[in-house]
Amino acid sequence: MSEWIKELFVAIFGTNSSLATIIISMIPIVELRGAIPFGSATSFWGEHALELWESLLFSLLGSTLVCVILTFLFWPIFKWLKQTKAFKKLALWVENKLNNKAENINNKTENEKDAKKIKWLKIIGIFGFVAIPLPLTGVWTGTCLALFIGLNKKETMSTVVLGNIVAGLLMTLISYFFADNTMIVFYAFFILVGVFILFALIKKLINKIKNKNKTQNDEPVTDTIKEVEEKSEEDKTSEVELELNEANVKSTEDENASNEENEKENDNKKDGE
């Protein structure tokens, strides 16, 4: 870690590595996954570094606090954000992302009719989501997602906390194999975060290009349909005009025939006189 970051942490936390670990475990994305190797890093804290089990406990404490607070305050804060001009777009973006993830979980339970079984499948889904120590699958996302798929407060907290404990044990195990320099795990985690973000951006760009190409391909079809419709209208108009002309011609012929008959009758009358 660069010296200026180290100096910043020392200025804020001094040698209190336990407090620093708690605070870092509460930060989105980093959470417990980054806090465990960071709190136990002797290369950063020196003699003030925590033991791995201590780092695990303090990380669990911080991330569990986030889960509890978020469970009770998420909906009120979220509804308020949607009503503000400044944060409405952000709130709608978060809602869209969470709805997509929630839909994936709900799709797996759509064939089930037993409400109890559906509930357990949702709980298992959230537990597995949080238990895997990957970026963007921690307490923050897991708690919000659990609330979005309809779990109540008790179910949300118990499921997310248990999943977080499993993730913490896995991160502790990984850090154990790099006990001489746990900052390697910390750096690797942030590299993984960068890869996830890059992948998401590339995926978004690809979808945007596909949608643009689809729109461009649909335009000629739309134009062709319009042309066919216009041509059809023209044909109909021509048919109507043709029928009117034929009717006029027939009417004229009938009128001429009637005039001829009248003339003949008049001629016959004259001859008779």
- Write the pLDDT tens digit of every residue in 226-267: 565 666 666 666 665 666 666 665 666 666 666 666 666 665
Confidence of residue 88 (pLDDT cuts 50, 70, 90): confident
| Helices assigned H by DSSP within the chain | 3-13, 17-25, 31-39, 42-45, 52-83, 88-108, 115-131, 139-148, 153-176, 183-272
Residue 86 belongs to some domain of the structure: yes
132 domain residue, yes or no:
yes
Residue 236 lies in a domain: no
- Of 93-97, 129-133, 217-221, the range with the highest mean pLDDT is 129-133
DSSP state of 43: H
Within a domain: 252: no
Token pair listed for 207: 């979808």
Name residues whose C-beta falls within 8 Å of residue 38's C-beta, 6 or more positions apart in sequence: 20, 21, 24, 44, 55, 182, 183, 186
In this prediction, residue 14 carries a pLDDT of 83
Task: For residue 232, tell me if it sits in a domain.
Answer: no
How do residues 104-145 score in pLDDT, each as one tens digit? 777 776 666 677 888 888 899 999 999 998 888 899 999 999
Check pLDDT > 80 for residue 69. yes
Secondary structure (DSSP) of 91-146: HHHHHHHHHHHHHHHHHHTTT---HHHHHHHHHHHHHHHHHS--TT-SHHHHHHHH
Domain assignment of residue 251, yes or no: no
Tally of domains within the chain = 1
Confidence at 73, pLDDT banded by 50, 70, 90: very high
What confidence score (pLDDT) does residue 146 get?
Answer: 92
Answer yes or no: is 78 within a domain: yes
Q: Which domain holds residue 70?
A: 3-181
Contact at 8 Å (CB) between 32 and 168?
Answer: yes
First to last CA, the chain: 133
Confidence of residue 47 (pLDDT cuts 50, 70, 90): confident
The answer to whether residue 148 is domain-embedded is: yes
Name the band, by pLDDT with cuts 50, 70 and 90, for residue 179: confident
Closest CA to 35 of 148, 172, 153: 172
